[in-house]
Amino acid sequence: MAAACRIVAETLRALSDMAKPGISTRDIEGIAEKMILKKGGALAFKGYRGFPAGICTSINDQVVHGIPSSVILREGDIISIDLGVYMNGFYGDGAITLPVGKISKEAERLLQVTENALYLGIEKVSPGNRVSDVSHAIQKYVEANGYSVVRALVGHGIGRSLHEAPQVPNYGGPGQGPRLREGMTFAIEPMVNAGSYGITVLDDGWTAVTLDHSLSAHFEHTVAVTENGVRILTKID
Ligand code: MG
């Protein structure tokens, strides 16, 4: 699993230099696919429940599950890239939201708050804590910063399948849900809207967008519960 997750991390890092004005989301998908295959992985999202692409690219008010296309990134956009890798029987899953060229101060703050929220959630991963301790830390921080967390979509267990129990919501009171044990692996993925938390799905059947058209950001890591705390599998130094 660590090997699959490492490919996720390396690919996202390489893509973060490529999200520049003038590139299409399909170009980004092509680069990602080449890299992942070269490293010996497979695109976990390709065909997953019929998903028609290899990775997810979600621009501006798109929350997640955007489908790569001929749409060209423009200066000031934000783009979320979410990808899953399958290798040797195991899955890894990770996402980042990137600025395209120079973005507004408000968009910058949204990205920072969302990434911070992910790490505050990860800090709660420790044997004996409960799933909703993670959820609560994320919601509390995001709302204190004036944003909202998406509720209709959640993080998830991951391992031999891309999506497994337990669900890992980004909201809720502390001290609920399954207790964390050494060896558990799951994906934590706050989706944060600058406006309210409502979302809807476009006619393509996949792309989730904010109902109020506000910007949305998404950061995700696959983590493992260790004896003393947590190991972030999709992070490289
Ligand atoms: Mg995920």
What's residue 237's pLDDT? Answer: 80
The CA 194 to ligand 1 mean position distance, Å, reads: 21
CA of 85 relative to ligand 1 center, distance in Å:
11
Q: What is the whole-number distance in angstroms between the Cα of residue 21 and the centre of ligand 1? A: 26
Residue numbers in the chain where pLDDT is lower than 70: none
Please report the DSSP string for the chain in residue order: -HHHHHHHHHHHHHHHTT--TT-BHHHHHHHHHHHHHHTT-EETTTTGGG--SSSEEEETTEEE-PPP-SPBP-TT-EEEEEEEEEETTEEEEEEEEEE-SS--HHHHHHHHHHHHHHHHHHHT--TT-BHHHHHHHHHHHHHHTT-EE-SSS-EEE-SSSSSEEEEE-S---SS-SSBP-TT-EEEE--EEESS-S-EEE-TTS--EEETT---EEE-BEEEEE-SSSEEETT---
pLDDT per position as a tens digit, 192-224: 999 999 999 999 999 999 999 999 999 999 999
Distance 95 CA to ligand 1 centre (A): 8
Task: With respect to residue 76, please indicate whether it lies within any of the assigned structural domains.
Answer: yes
Domain assignment present for residue 235? The answer is no
Instruction: Specify if 237 maps to a domain.
Output: no
Q: What is the pLDDT of residues 77-93, one digit of tens each?
A: 999 999 999 999 999 99
Number of domains in the chain: 1
* CATH code (residue 35): 3.90.230.10
Model pLDDT, residue 231: 98
User: Within a domain: residue 26?
Assistant: yes
236 belongs to a structural domain: no
Distance 166 CA to ligand 1 centre (A): 12
| Residue 134 resides in a domain | yes
CA of 219 to the centre of ligand 1 (A): 10
The pLDDT of residue 148: 98
Structural domain span for residue 159? 2-229
For residue 212, tell me if it sits in a domain: yes
Please indicate, yes or no, if residue 234 is contained in any of the structural domains.
no
